[in-house]
Amino acid sequence: MSENRELRVAVLGVGLMGSDHVKRLTNKISGARVSVINDFDIERAKSIAADVPGARVVADPFEAITADDVDAVVLATPSPTHEQQLMECLRTRKPVLCEKPLTPDAESSLRIVKAEAELGVKLIQIGFMRRFDNEYQQLKQLIVEGELGNPLMVHCVHRNPAGPPGFTSAMAVTESLVHEVDSIRYLLDEEITSVQVLQPRSTTLAGAELRDPQLALYETASGRLIDAEIFITTGVAYEVRTEVVGELGSATIGLDVGLIRKTKPGTWGGTITPGFQERFGQAYDTEVQRWVNAARSGAETGNYVDGPDAWDGYAAQAVCAAGVESVKTGLKVPVSMVDRASVLGSRV
């Protein structure tokens, strides 16, 4: 497409994330506009579209993907629908920003990776937004430049004030810890080879199907160790912290130290971020803007992706599958993954 023309985007699924992306594309992102909105709840889709100039509602997600007034797709539908919808994006050669997970399991994610590899062009970007967060990028740069020496360990904390109804122990791994999985792979630039999920005494605030908190222990291919606490129902606020410990020093992000106050009678403190949209708002904005830029120039450059790709989505699902198994057994579980080069060949 011409770089002088706006990227016409179909947003599939306008729940929490999809509606947020519609607002972002309409009010914050340059070079793109929402042309089509799809959701299984037609009335909700119409309500969202009413605030978007020029947007129309399409009931069938596949019709939305193939529409003539759609150049690219934001996929925020329920994960069981992702595989077929992603395959349609590949068939029509339309770049797609897919909210995690890529698909619900590693096997179907691998099918997506293979289908894209056979196509010979990268069209799928997975929505691991932390890679676009300023603090994560600064931490990554410290590692790349050797400021910390060889990274040896990583400590992660992921705390939510509350979880949705019906949230389970397995979902804590697949829906929340998956972000730590991708962050580890991004920061250390290597694959995770095993995971063990430990379950301490559970908070009384957790639902019947959720053991909360949980502690995941990850090991990488080179022997680095990572511990990641996931606590879904703290009742406090949203906290995401990461510390990398290296041979020459350590660095921590996510401390919410923008403002520290001291008041009488001898108290001090600040404000903890209330939710993920506030904490990672900048990351989402950067992620979508860079995706739009890549999608607009892809026809000329041959690359429609500027961030985590289908392989990253598959790798995360493979690690989460081992994590879910460890939730059941409490044991250390090896991660089962195919060799990357055997699928991607020279594209590795």
- Three-class HEC string of the chain: CCCCCCEEEEEECCCHHHHHHHHHHHHCCCCEEEEEEECCCHHHHHHHHCCCCCCEECCCHHHHHHCCCCCEEEECCCHHHHHHHHHHHHHCCCCEEECCCCCCCHHHHHHHHHHHHHHCCECEEECCHHHHCHHHHHHHHHHHCCCCCCEEEEEEEEECCCCCCCCCHHHHHHHHHHHHHHHHHHHHCCCEEEEEEECCCCCCCCCCCCCCCEEEEEEECCCCEEEEEEECCCCCCCEEEEEEEECCCEEEECCCCCCCEEECCCEEECCCCCCHHHHCHHHHHHHHHHHHHHHHHHHHHCECCCCCEHHHHHHHHHHHHHHHHHHHHCCCEECCCCCHHHHHHHHC
Q: How far is CA 162 from CA 20, 55, 198, 215, in A?
A: 20, 34, 20, 17
What is residue 259's predicted lDDT score, i.e. its pLDDT? Answer: 46
What is residue 348's predicted lDDT score, i.e. its pLDDT? Answer: 57
What is residue 255's predicted lDDT score, i.e. its pLDDT? Answer: 87
Nearest Cα neighbor of 159 from 233, 218, 216, 210 is 233
The domain limits of the chain are 7-129+280-309, 134-275
Task: Show the tokens assigned to 112.
Answer: 């997506």
pLDDT digits (tens, 9 = 90+) for 59-111: 999 999 999 999 999 999 999 999 999 999 999 999 999 999 999 999 999 99
Task: Show the tokens assigned to 152.
Answer: 């040896």
What is residue 21's predicted lDDT score, i.e. its pLDDT? Answer: 97
What is residue 267's predicted lDDT score, i.e. its pLDDT? Answer: 67
Distance CA 176, CA 216 (A): 12
pTM across the whole model: 0.91
Domains 7-129+280-309 and 134-275 equal at CATH topology level = no
Strands 96-98 and 72-75: what pairing? parallel
Beta carbons of 186 and 140 less than 8 angstroms apart: yes
Tell me which architecture the domain covering 134-275 has in CATH: 2-Layer Sandwich (3.30)
Residues of the chain with pLDDT under 70: 1-4, 257-264, 266-270, 346-348
Beta carbons of 326 and 117 less than 8 angstroms apart: no
Produce one character per residue of 318-332: b if its CB has 16 or more CB atoms within 10 Å, e if not. bbbbbbbbbbeeeee
Nearest Cα neighbor of 232 from 197, 206, 255 is 206
Distance CA 164, CA 141 (A): 35
Beta carbons of 293 and 285 less than 8 angstroms apart: no
In this structure, whether the domain defined by 7-129+280-309 belongs to CATH 1.10.390.10 is answered with: no
Task: Show the tokens assigned to 137.
Answer: 């990028």
